[in-house]
């Protein structure tokens, strides 16, 4: 797909968001020609857990699945301390119902569990008992691995930002096969041997 016809990727931003979790994903999507647009609860500025102040490009209520390529939900303390982010989980349901993929990492997986979106999909998170505490019904579909993609939904735990990006890049067709494997080995394992594969593919 030509970069001029690609729909934007929506990156959710909210107070206490874990700013280290989505950097690989958004950087490499942008390099592949995707426009990354931030979406907040409103258009008021939010502050990440690292103290970064972010001005959202749009309010959640103004974002539609049909105008988007992907919704990314980072972790945040607010997923576990309030219900303030529940509207983002409901939006994730709308995206998935419309056939538009969603990628959730860390605390956002608990938000999706509470919304019932993990009950019938393979998924992962930080640890199984973290999601079990939400009272969800999907414990039997939990996989103890770095990241999982099932029917348009990517999940990962907070220590796996590179695996999270790998799944998103595969899902959107940015990289695949040997090139995707080399990308992961470079950024996750610091495998210098992966450079040659990526250079040959024009992926650096």
Query: What pLDDT, in 10s, does the model give residues 127-148?
Result: 999 999 999 999 999 999 999 9
Which of 29, 63, 89, 106 is flagged as catalytic? 106
pLDDT tens figures, 103-113:
999 999 999 99
pTM of this prediction?
0.96
> Does the annotation count 59 as an active-site position?
no
Q: What is the pLDDT of residue 171?
A: 97
CA distances from 51 to 48, 57, 107 (A): 5, 19, 18
> Tokens 């982010």 identify what position?
85
Report residue 111 as tokens: 């938000």
- The length of the chain, given as a count of residues: 204
Asked whether the beta carbons of 106 and 113 are under 8 A apart, the reply is: no
């Amino acid at each position: 797909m030509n970069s001029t016809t690609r729909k934007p990727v929506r990156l959710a931003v909210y107070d206490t968001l874990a700013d280290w979790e989505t950097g690989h994903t958004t950087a490499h999507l942008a390099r592949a020609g995707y426009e990354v647009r931030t979406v907040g609860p409103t258009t008021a500025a939010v502050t990440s857990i690292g103290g970064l102040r972010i001005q959202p490009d749009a309010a959640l209520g103004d974002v539609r699945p049909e105008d988007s390529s992907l919704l990314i939900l980072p972790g945040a303390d607010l997923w576990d301390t309030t219900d303030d982010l529940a509207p983002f989980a409901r939006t994730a349901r709308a995206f998935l119902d419309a056939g538009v993929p969603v990628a959730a990492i860390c605390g956002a997986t608990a938000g999706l569990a509470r919304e019932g979106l993990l009950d019938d999909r393979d998924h992962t998170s930080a640890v199984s008992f973290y999601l079990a505490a939400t009272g969800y019904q999907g414990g039997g579909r939990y996989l103890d691995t770095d990241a999982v993609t099932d029917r348009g939904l990517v999940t990962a735990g907070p220590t796996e930002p590179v695996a999270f990006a790998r799944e998103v890049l595969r899902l959107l067709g940015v990289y695949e096969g040997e090139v995707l494997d080399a990308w992961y080995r470079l950024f996750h394992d610091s495998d210098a041997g992966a450079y040659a594969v990526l250079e040959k593919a024009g992926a650096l």
